[in-house]
Structure 1
Amino acid sequence: MPYQIYSHTLPSATLGTQRILKAHHFGEQGARPKVYLQAGLHADEWPGFLVLNSLIKLLKEADDKGLIKGEIIIVPVANPIGLAQNFHGYIPGRFAFSDGGGNFNRNWPQLGEKVKKRLKGEVTGDAQENIGLVRSYIAQELAALPENTELQGMKKTLLALSMDADEVLDLHCSGEASMHAYVAQEFEDYFKPLLALLGAKVGLSELETGAASFDETNVSVWRTLKSDYAHLIPWGSRSLTLELRGENDISDDYANQDANALFDYLVLRGVVLGNAPEVDDSEVVYYPLDAMDLVKAPSAGIVCYSKNIGDPVEAGEVIGEVVDLMEDDVTASRYPLIARANGVFFARVQRRLVARGESIAKIAGREHLAFREIGNLFED
C-alpha cells in the first residue's frame, strides 16, 4: 500500500466545532514489524512535532524507493484538544480544561482484565497464534470503548491506531532537560540501541508507575496476560516515552538529528530496508524511577541554579537556591536546593519563578529513595 494520510474526526464537543487527528501510514496494513509514533500528547511539548515532520520526509523517500518492509503509523499532532487551549497566547496543554480536567497522559483505559476473560480457555501452545488472538480481542475491547466526549474519542482513536503495534514510541519533552526516556524494566535491553542512537545517556526504568499513561496502556494487556501465561504469550507490544530535551530545544538541526536517529532505528528493527547502523550503547545508563529525586522548592521565589543539566551530583549537594523576594532581610532570603540522591541532574522546570513545595528539578539516582512511593511515581 502506498503512503496514505487518514483523517480521524473527533466527536464535536461544542456547537460548530470539529477537530481531527491525522495519521500518516507507510507500508502494507498488517505488515510486521509495525511501529507507531506520536508527538504532542502533552500539547505544550512541541519538539516532537518537528522531529516527526522530518521523519515523515525521510520515510516518504524510502517509500518511493520501495524500502518500507513493515508498517509505520505516525501521528505528528496527537492532541488537537490541548492545542486549542490557547489562553492569552499561552497553551497550557498538559491538563484538560474540559471532560473533568486531568493530565492528558494519565488514566487511559485499561483493557487487560477484559481481554484476559475473553482469552480464558483459548490459549494454545503456539505463541504467535496467541499473539494474534490477543490482538483480535484487544480490537474488540477497543471498539466497545465509549466515545461520548471529545477526549474519549481522542483516546479511543489513538489506542486503535497503536495497540496492535510491535513498538510504540511516544514523544514528549521536559521544561529544560537532556535527552532521556522512561522505559519499562522489561524493555531496558531492548530499547538501549534506540536511546544510544538518540544520544540519550539517561533512562528512567520502572515496572509500573500507577499513572496508566499512554505508553504503559499499550503494554498493560500483555503484562497482565504474561503473569498467567508467561512464555505462551510473548510481548506483543513494547513501548516507551521519549523526552526530547527541553521545551525550547526546537530547531531544524535537532529535528533532523533526531529524525535520522529514529530512521536508523527503524532500519535496525527491519521495518525499513537498509544497512543497519552500528550502535554503541555503552554510555546509556538506566536509573530506577523510584530512585529519582524530585527536588522541591523550599520557598516561593526566583530559582537560581548552580548546577547545569547533565552534571553529576551527590546527596547533600546544593544544586541551586530559591530567592524569597518577600523576605525582609535580603541577606537571609536565599534557600538552598539540596539533592537527596547520588546521580545525574537531568531535568528542571523552565520557569524561574516557582511556588513553595513545587517539584522543580529531577535527579536520576541509583538507590531507592524511601519517600518515593512505588505505584505512584508521577506526581502530575
Structure 2
Amino acid sequence: MSYQIYSHVLPSATPGTQRILKAHHFGEAGARPKVYFQAGLHADEWPGFLVLNRLIKLLKKADKSGLIQGEIVIVPVANPIGLAQNFHGYIPGRFAFSDGGGNFNRNWPQLGSKVHKRIKHDVTGDAETNVTLIRKAIREELTLLPENTELQGMKKMLLALSMDADDIIDLHCSGEACMHAYVAQEFEDHFRPLLALLDAKVGLSELETGAASFDETNVSVWRDLKSHYAHLVPWGSRSLTVELRGENDISEEYAQQDAKALFDYLILREVVSGEAPIIDDSEVKYYPLDAMDLVKAPCAGIVCYHKAIGEEVEAGEEIGEVVNLMEDDVDTSSYPLIARTNGVFFARVQRRLVVYGESIAKIAGREHLAFREIGHLFED
C-alpha cells in the first residue's frame, strides 16, 4: 500500500497558534501521471471538503487493491487560515483578515520569468527532457519563495505540492449556481471529459484573466515558456477551477456523485486502474469568459429573481428585480435586472439583501462584450 498522510506546519502567526496543511498521498512519489486536488482555498466554500473526503475513501479502497498507477495528492482543507476567521459563527473566508488582506485566490507568486532565466541555456530539442528540466527549475524557485508570514507559508506549500502535477483540480463553489468550471482556453478539450463526468454543462473559457489565481499560477510557467519555445515545451501542467454548485449544495448524495466523477476521471487518465468510463460530453458547452455578463444591482435593496439557475436568457430580458426599501412610492420601488447577453443564467449571490453596484448574478454569454476587459475579467 502506498497511502500516506503528511502534515505541513505553517509559520506561527501569533504566540501559541499553529496551523497545518494535511496532504493525502497515493501512489509512488514521482509516478506519472500526477493529479493534485484541493478544496476550500476560499474558506467559505465548503462542498469540496465533503467531496474530497469521499474521494479519499474511494482511493483507499483502490490502493488496497493495488490499483494506483500514478501519483495523487489531495489537500482536503487548503486554507486553515481562512477557516479560523470565525466572526460570531460566520466565516468570511474569501479575504484574508491579516497579511495585507486580499482575496485568498488572487496574486499568487508568478515564477515564469525566473524559471526561464534558469533554463534558457539548457533547453534541448527533446520535449520530455525539457519538461524534466523545467520541473527541476520550478522546484528550485519554489524553495526561494518567502515564508515570513502564515499566508506566504500556506501559498508556498500549496504550490510545492501542486506545481509538478500533470492535472491540478481546484474545488470551489458559488453562492447559488449550477455545476460549472473555469478552464484555460488551451485545455478545453483536455478537461471536457471531466466536465461531462461532473454533469457540468457550463465551462467558462479563460485566457489571461489578470487574477494570478491558484489555477492560473500552476500553468503560468508553461504558458510563459511556450511563448519562447513553442513545441519544445509541452504543457507540463494543466489546471482548472471547478465550481461545485452553490454554498448550500452539500449532501451525501452530491458528495458521492461528485467523488465518483473525480475517481472515474482518474481512471480515464490512467492514474488509477479500472474500466474506463463512457463519456457523453455532448451537453458540455464553453463560453468565453469575456462574454460573461456580471449583472449588477441597480440600487440597494432586496433582490427577487424571476429566472432559475440554469435557464437560458436573452439580451434585454428581465431576470429579476431589486426592491429599493427606501423609496417613498412603493409602486415604483422595483428596479429590473436586465440581461445584456444571450446565454445561460448560471450563478447568483446567495444573499437577498444586495448593495448598490455589486455584481449579483452571472450569465454565460457566447459573444465578446465590449465592457469586459481582457486581463481584468474577475472581480474580487
Shared fold (TM-score greater than 0.5)?
yes
What whole-Å deviation, never above 9, does each CA across 1:179-233 have from its counterpart, x for those lacking one? 0000000000110000000000000001110000000000000000000111111
Q: Which amino acid aligns with 1:335?
A: Y
SS in 2 for 1:266: helix
- Shift, 1:52, TM fit: 0.1
- Shift, 1:290, TM fit: 0.2
Q: Which residue is 1:352 aligned to?
A: 352
What whole-Å deviation, never above 9, does each CA across 1:9-55 have from its counterpart, x for those lacking one? 00000010000000000000000000000000000000000000000
2:207 pairs with 1:207: yes
Runs of 4+ in 1 over 3 A off after TM superposition: none
Q: Which residue is 2:365 aligned to?
A: 365
SS in 1 for 2:116: helix
Aligned identity (percent) is 83
In structure 2, distance between residues paired with 1:18 and 1:341: 48
In structure 1, distance between residues paired with 2:247 and 2:379: 19
Q: Which residue is 1:45 aligned to?
A: 45
Q: Report the TM-score when normalising by structure 1.
A: 1.00
SS in 2 for 1:107: coil
SS in 1 for 2:351: coil
SS in 1 for 2:151: helix
Q: Which residue is 2:157 aligned to?
A: 157
In structure 2, distance between residues paired with 1:2 and 1:368: 48
Q: Which amino acid aligns with 1:50?
A: L
In structure 2, distance between residues paired with 1:3 and 1:184: 31
2:4 pairs with 1:26: no
Q: Which residue is 1:300 aligned to?
A: 300
Q: Which residue is 1:178 aligned to?
A: 178
- Shift, 1:379, TM fit: 1.1
In structure 2, distance between residues paired with 1:127 and 1:142: 22
In structure 2, distance between residues paired with 1:310 and 1:50: 24
SS in 2 for 1:60: helix
In structure 2, distance between residues paired with 1:237 and 1:2: 23
Matches within 5 A, 1:1-380: 2-380=2-380
In structure 2, distance between residues paired with 1:2 and 1:159: 22
Q: Which amino acid aligns with 1:12?
A: S
Q: Which amino acid aligns with 2:100?
A: G
In structure 2, distance between residues paired with 1:117 and 1:130: 14
- Shift, 1:2, TM fit: 1.5
- Shift, 1:125, TM fit: 1.1
SS in 2 for 1:93: coil
- Shift, 1:238, TM fit: 0.1
Count of matched residue pairs:
380
Task: Provide structure 2 residue ranges, at least 5 long, that are not aligned to the other structure.
Answer: none
In structure 1, distance between residues paired with 2:374 and 2:122: 34
In structure 2, distance between residues paired with 1:10 and 1:188: 35
In structure 1, distance between residues paired with 2:243 and 2:197: 14
In structure 1, distance between residues paired with 2:254 and 2:75: 19
Q: Which amino acid aligns with 1:189?
A: D
In structure 2, distance between residues paired with 1:78 and 1:206: 23
In structure 1, distance between residues paired with 2:79 and 2:183: 22
In structure 2, distance between residues paired with 1:75 and 1:223: 25
In structure 2, distance between residues paired with 1:379 and 1:73: 30
- Shift, 1:121, TM fit: 1.5
In structure 2, distance between residues paired with 1:336 and 1:141: 51
Q: Report the TM-score when normalising by structure 2.
A: 1.00
In structure 2, distance between residues paired with 1:315 and 1:93: 34
In structure 2, distance between residues paired with 1:40 and 1:129: 35
SS in 1 for 2:160: helix
- Shift, 1:376, TM fit: 0.4
In structure 2, distance between residues paired with 1:66 and 1:168: 23
In structure 2, distance between residues paired with 1:127 and 1:344: 40
What whole-Å deviation, never above 9, does each CA across 1:145-195 have from its counterpart, x for those lacking one? 000000000000000000000000000000000000000000001100000
In structure 2, distance between residues paired with 1:331 and 1:30: 67
In structure 2, distance between residues paired with 1:289 and 1:347: 14
